[in-house]
Structure 1
Amino acid sequence: MRALPEGLDLARLCHAWILTRVDGVKLGFTDHDRDLVVDGATCRAGGGWSPGASDTAVGYAPGQAAALGVLDDAGISEDDLAAGLYDGAKVLALRVDWSAPSRLVRLWTATIAAVSREGAAFKATLAGPLADLERVAGRTFTRLCDARLGDARCGVDLSGHPGATCDKRWTTCTRAFGNGVNFRGFPTAPGEDFLTLYPVEGERNDGGRR
């Protein structure tokens, strides 16, 4: 449950959105009929910014939602969109008492994951905070190499191996390409078969059967 500021008049509420680009530039928008200064940012009326999904769908959901807006030089310009200045920008949504903008409630925060143009307007795809939990971070430890044949991590010169393919296995890397020093897998890592092994009387039980 959100705590409401003392004196907040529910009859005089409007929406405001504050967008902060990665270069620090802040832009504000509101659905009120005049500009408001909210949380230190001037929120422009009539900027065309509007949510394309409900607040609860954006706030803490790992999925994505959308926001819509109009391209104009005083707000979000076509050139800035093309330059990628809004990629990764943070968006803060608020409910504000337009008669006293210091009385506000923060609804949700999101990150602009992608921006596309639709005629004279734009569509921003917003990802909620929990979307970070869905991103793959780091590497997966596997017996197979996770580099692409010929890329910088692999290092194989494809001009010397025309039409070659690689199955990502250690033996292929060393025998076919002589590139064991750049192998990006873990060939000695125990696999699932190792979990089913058990000592057998009369056999050599030194781990060599991995």
Structure 2
Amino acid sequence: MRELSESFKAHLAGGATTLCQCWRIERADGLIQGFTDHDDLLILDGVRYEPQSGLTASEAISNLSLGVDTSEVEGALQSEAISAAALHAGDYDNAKVTVYAVNWAAPEERIVLRVADIGEVTSDGGLFRAELRGLKHRLNQVQGRLFENTCDADLGDRRCGVDLTDPALQGNGEVVALLDGQTFLASGISGFADSWFDRGVLTWTGGANHGRSIEIESQYQALSETRLRIWLPMPEEILPGDGFSLVAGCDKLFPTCREKFANTANFRGFPHIPGNDFAYGFARAGNANRGRALIR
């Protein structure tokens, strides 16, 4: 149950109110931003709530079922507030949003209306629109582990244990020529086998995308250079001379864990799950029906 101060109760019960909405956005990287639909700057708990964004909210839908509560906010794209590049780069994906009703004449009088996560974000011209998903949407996310034949660890994490600082699993290169928005020729990594970095991670160490990371779709040798393709276009233009680092990829399969990483002791899948063929199979004359394990 929400608790209101006596002064706020009196204000709400009065004939006229001085209320506005404030949005506190906390991104995954720790950046906190504040916005308000009031026409002046507000400061709450040390956070500046800027009015210049022109942020407005749609009707909020709430229910008592397990359905996800949703609403939207939209506002103007501004380089000093929320930029198109940051949206396209995913900086606001799943950011936490706290929505307040605030008495702008006495900002200490406020109440939390809802807490949500940012879902789908779109931009059109100079405007952006963000979907706010109620916290019940997290009930749709997989929790715990799945019984499947592929590994559910991330390469190099605590459960995996592979040392990604091993020189055999990383490389550094430079863009030589851009073929399209996601494909380019690179130098400096010709010593690696084809597909070694497939599903790996590329991190830009130079250029306009410096510091951003993207998953690698494919990597193979093309004459004297290496041809690389990333899964998604970068928010900023890739140019010849841009530097990057690479980390090898993993397809989560048991043979790859054994042959590429020699890490079968830490494989976090169940590679010997019988498939449909086995489940519907039966003993046949002439087969090696000795009662021994099929996979050892």
Q: TM-score, normalised by structure 1?
A: 0.64
Shift of 1:35: 1.1
Residues 23 and 183 of structure 1: CA distance in aligned 2, closer, same or farther (over 3 Å): closer
TM-align CA RMSD = 2.7
1:153 aligned onto 2:252: yes
Match of 1:50 in 2: 56
Point out where structure 1 has 5 or more consecutive residues left out of the alignment: 158-181, 189-210
Aligned residue among 120, 131, 136 for 1:130: 136
How many residues end up aligned between the 2 structures? 157
Shift of 1:183: 5.8
Point out where structure 2 has 5 or more consecutive residues left out of the alignment: 152-249, 257-268, 276-296
1:187 aligned onto 2:251: no
1:30-85 residue CA offsets vs partner (Å, 9 max, x unmatched): 1112111123211111412122231636xx95244322121012211112212221
Q: TM-score, normalised by structure 2?
A: 0.47
1:125-157 residue CA offsets vs partner (Å, 9 max, x unmatched): 222111111112344437xx468xxx7223568
1:85-129 residue CA offsets vs partner (Å, 9 max, x unmatched): 111211110011111111110111111123221221111122211
Amino acid of the residue matched to residue 18 of structure 1? R
1:166-191 residue CA offsets vs partner (Å, 9 max, x unmatched): xxxxxxxxxxxxxxxx8636339xxx
Residues 55 and 38 of structure 1: CA distance in aligned 2, closer, same or farther (over 3 Å): farther
**Identity score, percent:** 34
Query: Does structure 1 conserve the Cα–Cα contact (< 8 Å) formed by 2:99 and 2:114?
Result: yes
**Matching of residues 168-207 of structure 1 within 5 Å:** 184=271, 186-187=273-274
Residues 93 and 73 of structure 1: CA distance in aligned 2, closer, same or farther (over 3 Å): same
Q: Which has the higher helix share?
A: 1
Amino acid of the residue matched to residue 29 of structure 2? D
Query: Does structure 1 conserve the Cα–Cα contact (< 8 Å) formed by 2:62 and 2:69?
Result: no
Aligned residue among 92, 102, 106 for 1:96: 102
Report the Cα distance in structure 1 between the residues aligned to 2:6 and 2:31, rounded to whole angstroms: 31
Secondary structure, aligned partner of 1:132? helix
